[in-house]
Amino acid sequence: MREVSLIIDALQNAGAELRARMERQRLLSRELSHRVKNVLGVVQALVQRTLTKRRPLNQASDLIVQRLQALSRSQDLLTRSDWTDLPLRQIVEMEIAPFSDRIACEGPDILVKSDLIQDFGLLVHELTTNAVKYGALRDRAGTIVVTWSADEFRGARRFRFQWKECCRPVAGAAAEAGFGTTLLKSVLRSPDTTSRLEVEPDGFRFTLDAALHLVTRETEAEAIGLPRRSCSHQQIIGDSSG
């Protein structure tokens, strides 16, 4: 009887484990379906906004390939991290890697929500591409400083992101960042979220200001208390702060 009881217990445990695995599989299938739909939606918007009457077809084709590659890099990050939230620093460094000696970045180790990682990756890609064509990266003279913060401002917890180029701008630079900025604004829908790209006498400046809870799942106290770190040459920050 003791052996029969052990066998029955083992079968019951195995049945419970099998049911738990089946439920987890169903959850994973639903989550995968949701994420695939999101990616397809991003690709559709990417293609539609790139194929415009004012852009030659061959140029649009190249842009679509570049943007899909940026989307693929973000997708690889998400896959390797098992679709968990990732540090903003890692996303930025991934896109600026070919120009890391020209771009300084500084900010706390904020964890970006997993469903925003692709959007931030595309945003930084668009700004980098724009800088290569028209801004600080078109020659060896320009530099870029990327900063972000999580602070309390007028009683509210705010996330601020800034891309500041130091160069002599050329005409047409502002137009090429349209897809990335529009995409990010469509994700961070909020009355008090602002995003803009400005052409200034000493270069281009992109700024994003949003409620902190839209960007990170960290508690407000955790995000605001994080120390700031740099990820490139401090000299660049000093040279371009004025």
Tell me the pLDDT of the chain (242 aa) as tens digits.
777 787 887 888 888 888 877 877 776 566 556 556 656 666 766 676 677 667 788 878 887 888 788 878 887 877 787 778 999 999 999 999 889 889 999 999 999 998 888 888 888 988 888 888 888 988 888 899 999 999 887 778 899 999 999 987 665 555 444 555 566 566 676 777 888 888 888 888 989 999 999 999 877 666 666 777 777 544 333 333 33
Residue 215's contacts (CB-CB under 8 Å, 6 or more residues apart) are: 110, 112, 113, 116, 159, 188
Which pLDDT score is estimated for 177?
Answer: 44
Question: What gap in Å lies between CA 195 and CA 64, rounded to an integer?
Answer: 23
pTM assigned to the model:
0.71
Question: What gap in Å lies between CA 135 and CA 119, rounded to an integer?
Answer: 22
Which pLDDT score is estimated for 240?
Answer: 34
Residue 30 CA, distance from chain mean position? 24
Q: Strands across the sheet with 156-166, in order? A: 194-200, 203-211, 156-166, 143-153, 103-108, 228-230
Which pLDDT score is estimated for 86?
Answer: 92
User: What is the distance in angstroms between the CA of the first residue and the CA of the last residue of the chain?
Assistant: 85
Strand-strand pairing, 143-153 and 103-108 = parallel
Question: What gap in Å lies between CA 93 and CA 99, rounded to an integer?
Answer: 9
- CATH match of 51-240 with 3.30.565.10: yes
Which pLDDT score is estimated for 38?
Answer: 59
Whole-number Cα distances in Å, 58 to 8, 37, 86, 211: 68, 28, 35, 39
Which pLDDT score is estimated for 169?
Answer: 65
Which pLDDT score is estimated for 1?
Answer: 74
